[in-house]
Amino acid sequence: MEYIKGIDVSHWQGTINWGEVAKAGVKFVFIKATEGTSYSKLSYFKENAPQALAAGLKVGAYHYAKFATVAEAKAEAVYFLDSISSFALNYPVVLDLEENKKRQIKKR
């Protein structure tokens, strides 16, 4: 089985030298783009996605979900897609679902 080395990053990783990441054998990266329906660190994605692409990496984006209702889930999806739509990503977009405080989605 062949393994492909990849990483995920968010603003917690700070400034990244994407050329060094590529030299280290990393082939892909998922960069946090959004969280909820407003995200104060969206500029991190906007700055890093083009740099990672320029370094020759496959780049995908992820959304950190916070929704508790169907309406909130739809609003978050729209926000995420609007936020990344101007980027020519070459890897999947994904949902980071780590918590469900309501334990179930309630319709509104």
Q: Which residues are catalytic?
A: 8, 96, 98
Q: What angle do CA 61, 95, 14 make, to 5 degrees?
A: 45
User: Are 76 and 44 in contact, with CB atoms under 8 Å apart?
Assistant: no
Helix 70-84 vs helix 42-54: angle between axes, to the nearest 10 degrees? 40
